[in-house]
Amino acid sequence: MAALLAWSLWGSVTLKWMAALALAMGALLHPRTDRVRRPWTQSGGARWALVLLVWMLISMAWSAASVTAALREWAHYLPLLLPALLADRLSPQWASRLRAHFVVSAALVGLATAVAGPLTALLGAQPGGTMLLSSTVMSEGNQRIATSLLLALGSVWALQIAATSSGTRRVAWALAGLGSAWGLLNQDRRSGMVALAVLLVIWAISEGSLPRRLMKFSGLLLLFGSIWVSSSQVQGRFQEGWHELENADSPRAVDTSWGQRAALTEGSLHMAQARPLAGWGLGSWEVWWRGQAPPNSPLARLRTAHNEYLQVLTQQGLVGLTLLLAWGVAMARATTTACAVPQARAALVLLAVGALFNAVLRDSVFGLPLLIVLGVSLSQPPAKAAQ
């Protein structure tokens, strides 16, 4: 069952929702019995999430979106409660197995992604796709970006586990981490590459003595430099991105990834300036954007701000953004005070970094797997939680 739930994180949105509901029901109906029972909603993360959800409902009063559209968007934010629930109620043994299966699945997806290109060139056509292949190796759009973020997390988690293991287990986990990273580089998504670099740097500078941190950071700089020099593919992708930003004012920019994000950022900031405190209301961003984007252009097809912070700021104002950041701070405190496992910090950092490039909570393709892995990484035995 743990393996099935771990693989569901790579599947379609329907499978992700099924995994989230299964974990939530399991945590509620069969909670852990090794700690003092208290309402899980008393945790800081759950309280802030509940207040944010209530504020979103209140903001429907001044939203231009239909009630149906607003409630549909509100449902995407309900999983904000999931990390607190899983951290407080999920069995630590289950959580440990889920983390291990997730790392293994990331390594296998990474290896499959790495060999997909040469295999396609050898066969002269892409291999026949299954549901899982369609959402991982052969995925497109936001699903492909979500896969790249999960590969980045799987790689770092594997290396973190390897650092605390010994013998052949250390070698096996390290190879799993390298397999995930190899697949990520071959997948050719800048979001995942940036996320992997940030996660590695945060891990390097957050543990050990100062000389050891400096040594690890220097090693990472050498590693990044060697990858940059030796990989024309990586160079090309980032040079392409900088070129898109330099030409953001060009009409052609709306056909590019970073060019579109530049236009979305500028438009969303103008929207937020008009109603800074309470925002435009739940579900209003898409309504407002349809009136601003040029008709029949690629920009007109976009449905989110592609930045979670801007998405909340425009719709719920500074009040909503403050509540979201308070939830993030509560989760950050949980990773340092109630959890001794470094995987939790990596999961939270990935969520925070991913929110800069995509509406990771508004879009369940991102939000469900990232919130699930955060909650799973926060569930620890009492002995570790007390440290």
Q: What tens-digit pLDDT sequence spans the chain (387 residues)?
A: 888 888 889 888 888 999 999 998 888 877 776 665 667 677 778 999 999 999 999 999 999 999 999 999 999 999 999 998 988 888 888 888 999 999 999 999 999 888 876 655 555 555 555 556 666 666 777 888 889 999 999 999 999 899 888 889 999 999 999 999 988 888 877 788 888 889 988 888 887 778 878 887 788 888 777 776 666 666 666 666 566 555 655 444 455 566 778 888 888 999 999 999 999 999 999 998 888 777 777 777 888 888 999 999 999 999 999 999 999 999 988 887 645 567 888 899 999 999 988 889 998 899 899 999 999 988 865 544 444
Q: How far apart are CA 69 and CA 43, in angstroms?
A: 30
For residues 217 and 201, is the Cβ–Cβ distance under 8 A? yes
pLDDT recorded at residue 171: 93
pLDDT recorded at residue 143: 85
pLDDT recorded at residue 338: 47
pLDDT recorded at residue 116: 74
Query: Which residue range is the domain that position 68 belongs to?
Result: 2-27+45-385
Is 40 inside a domain boundary? no
Is 232 inside a domain boundary? yes
Is 39 inside a domain boundary? no
| 171-197 as b/e: b if 16+ CB within 10 A | ebbbebbbbbbbbbbbbbbbbbbbbbb
Is 161 inside a domain boundary? yes
pLDDT recorded at residue 386: 40
Q: How far apart are CA 226 and CA 238, in angstroms?
A: 15
Is 379 inside a domain boundary? yes
Q: How far apart are CA 154 and CA 132, in angstroms?
A: 17
Is 301 inside a domain boundary? yes
Is 33 inside a domain boundary? no
pLDDT recorded at residue 383: 47
For residues 348 and 335, is the Cβ–Cβ distance under 8 A? yes
Cα torsion at 14, 17, 23, 28 (round to 10°)?
-130
Is 164 inside a domain boundary? yes
For residue 213, give Cα distances in angstroms to 92, 216, 306.
Answer: 30, 5, 34
Q: How far apart are CA 168 and CA 372, in angstroms?
A: 29
Q: How many domains does the chain have?
A: 1
Instruction: Show the tokens assigned to 322.
Output: 């403050």
pLDDT recorded at residue 324: 96
| 318-345 as b/e: b if 16+ CB within 10 A | ebbbbbbebbbebbbebbeebbebbbbb
pLDDT recorded at residue 317: 95
Q: In sequence order, which residues have a C-beta less than 8 Å from that of residue 275 and are 6 or more positions away?
A: 317
